[in-house]
Amino acid sequence: MNKQRILEAIRSSVDYLLPNQCLLCKQTSSALICPHCAADLPSIKHACSICCLPLQTKAKFCRECLAGSHNFDRARCAFSYEKSVSELIHQFKSRANVPLGLWLSEQLSQQLDSRLIDAVVAVPQHWRRRLQRGFNQSEIIAGHLAKKHRLAELKLFKCHSHRQQKQLKRQQRLSTEGKNYQLKLQPQPGLRLALVDDVLTTGATANELSKQLKQAGCDYVEVWTLARTPKSSGRP
CB of 181 to Zn ion, least distance (A): 22
Cβ closest to Zn ion, residue 34 vs residue 195: 34
CB of 69 to Zn ion, least distance (A): 9
CB of 53 to Zn ion, least distance (A): 5
Contacts to Zn ion by CB under 5 A: 22, 24-25, 34, 37, 48, 50-51, 53, 62, 65
Cβ closest to Zn ion, residue 50 vs residue 156: 50
Cβ closest to Zn ion, residue 24 vs residue 227: 24
Q: How far apart are CA 194 and CA 232, in angstroms?
A: 26
CB of 20 to Zn ion, least distance (A): 12
Cβ closest to Zn ion, residue 59 vs residue 185: 59
Q: How far apart are CA 162 and CA 159, in angstroms?
A: 9
Cβ closest to Zn ion, residue 186 vs residue 202: 202
Q: 26 near 36, Cβ under 8 Å?
A: no
CB of 174 to Zn ion, least distance (A): 25
